[in-house]
Structure 1
């Protein structure tokens, strides 16, 4: 505070710069000469206002300082002043902190505005805006007595800086005396804290309310809203947890009512329909509780199936089956295999690519069954055949659905060894059409048989019907060839072999015996297998007839061409 006396006396200094060897620059500290209470009793005034009388604290009498006019402080024109070009602010010293001040507007003033404030071509626009920003910051902080940054004092003359200060006081009025008094109080407080060896942070202003844990930023409204929202979410979560734990008895009651309402379910023991399992606490076993919630969500206990007739269970599925067969026929007749350069997997044989795509679909659905409970509701509707309340599209979705690793592995192995050979023989279009047609007809046969025999709680899924169609077609196409099992040793394959027609007859007899005798394998859907065998055998017979007709027609054409050339 080298120039605090000039602020206290209200002396209009000709520009803010370092003090010279005058009385005002004497090495006397502010507090040693004037009591701070003196400035609190001063009436608020403005620097460089109208001529005034001030009382010197040193007993120098009344001092009158007229307001300097712009013409009185402007130097006389000469060849030196006319030849001086406007200066730009040089870079600050290496160790000097950069003072940015307070901008007076959101956008910097233009060159024309700077010239109107400081005079034409006295400072550059960048330097003029910097001078105004620094002066405005000094006014707000009550530090006009301090030395200005060195880049300003070296680049601008005192009367230029004074012109900027006069313009600010005219166009940006403020109580500079109050800012000075606030600065004095602030410095006194800092001195007291330093003497005590303490630092007490404040929020906003002195004695302001501190925030949580004496946070100097004060109370945070956003933090309060956040705590309220967190408390509300925790309360809602706790309410849902209680409802989840208390809802077990309600669900048991709903299932009991469904048993009484549906006469088909009354024929079975209650333990076979209701899975008694206590609900897990989400706070203790969140994963198990999450799985149980999706299990209950996928189980529909509010459906009344007592009014469903046999026709309403079978006819929608029959419509989907006929539509799927029509699409398979169109695919088989119109499919044109792409050229080698247009194939997606060029390095893989077409048969392997087709079979791997089908295996990939089955693996995807199996993954959803095993590892993604949110998909169970969708899978229960469209990927499993349920006779008590069937969905028509399930006759298609169940072809690609498996719930057990053993079931999936068995079907996919047979599909690979039989499907790749059959694919090479009949082509991709016929192969895909035969696979889908056999699977859909097998699913529809299983659904119809279980509905007609009142076995409404028996569910069915899997690609067994489609694969049965492929096996039947392969056996019919090679009805006169000897077939054997590929996994047998080479020396056994000649002994354990049979014609294709004999092999197919044996498989069908096994399915029929298992279906109508007490030795039935409960885990196998024999109706779906029989539907697939029937579809594959019928398609192979049609395809062989068509192939023989085309061969005969081709031989006749070749014979006609031969006779023409011989003549």
Structure 2
């Protein structure tokens, strides 16, 4: 008909085209895509033939089907933090599901969230073993998962839809290979192109030899160009294959449910991890928590898992005697240093423009600052934990001195250095550098020893670790309050305000507060035993100096100390003037050192 008249062509098209059957829209967009690909192709109606030109009519199949594909096995991994407790299962689902069934339902729902199939399947059809699980019950589990493990479900759904579309297109291509498929990756295309070019080159050389051409093949320049092009294509192919391998590995990890994509989607991370952008603008997964757990585990004194296992490593005598002997030797050395110390001449000093008091306090603050900053470096944690902390269950003798200079928390460090900056200069001016340093070190060592005995023989915690300069500062504070004659305190705010205070009474009040805190507040993290040890050393040193006629011998440096250089009265304590004088000394020393 179309050959007889042009208008018959349109009629033939209308007769040959079968109108598609209108069906109810599927609830899922993926199912709608599958139904669209599976709809029957347009078929032509058979024309009635005359007896003269009778031909056999073959009816095409009405519903061509996609070749059956092997059943895919879906591996559902565990939840990111392992199985959920029975109490949590009952709080989420009530008594409708057993703990085992509740955990399996949560695993299936979390797998659908991470794989993206939740947008396609929803919370229904959880499997034959869970046909009794209602939709409302499954929605409760989904709500709990979204609150506990938040992920980007929209992005996962988009990737699921893309994978399903590629799978359907690939199956259709298997049914009809002549059609063009988008599943053809660039690596395979480059490889086929290289193989085709190599076959053409071999065939061309064979044809040239048969024809007797003198110049067989291409020139050296052309071969070099082809070699470079081949290397470039191989590099592109290798990069494409590596990218495909990474994508397959990421898909396999995502299918387990233990991993989620980072915000940019370039990497994988576990739920709860964080990301950051490096200096090159690339997204990186933060390993801070993993590194902290690693070095925290390496910082343990031993590998014992229980208290009984830890105590079996050493006896009571092995824990007490070494540190006791070391502290006794330390106290004797501090006594000799305080008794026989003589100030060096300015020519032998490192900073001759600084007063001995300022140099001593700055040296102590600098030592404590270095150790406090070292605690910020995680690879140093095992070393610092072994030598700069005191653990009564596994002590080392030298820890009695080294832990006095160690602070892990900045709040603890700032509080101790603030007290050292207030009491330290006044006490050092009062008794001199020798007695001050001897009291400071011996108070810290004796405080650690008292804490060791209290933990092993008393009611202290034998597994807790202690550190800090509190015991040493208590020792010099007791020494100052029991020896000073100052009874007036100058306040910088309000201006030129002075108040009366009694050092011995103030010291007694502080001691009573410490005793009350140790008795009433049993859950505090303060090492009260070491504080009492430091107080004991300060009281003993003050009593010894008074018994030796300290006021007549004038062992201190009140006449040449920081307070005297600041112009304050001997009976008045001026903290602001001391601080200003110390800052002035440091500036002068730096200025002269720079010149």
Identify the TM-score tier after normalising by the shorter chain. 0.3 to 0.5
Larger radius of gyration between Structure 1 and Structure 2: 1
TM-score normalised by L of structure 2:
0.44
TM-score normalised by L of structure 1:
0.46
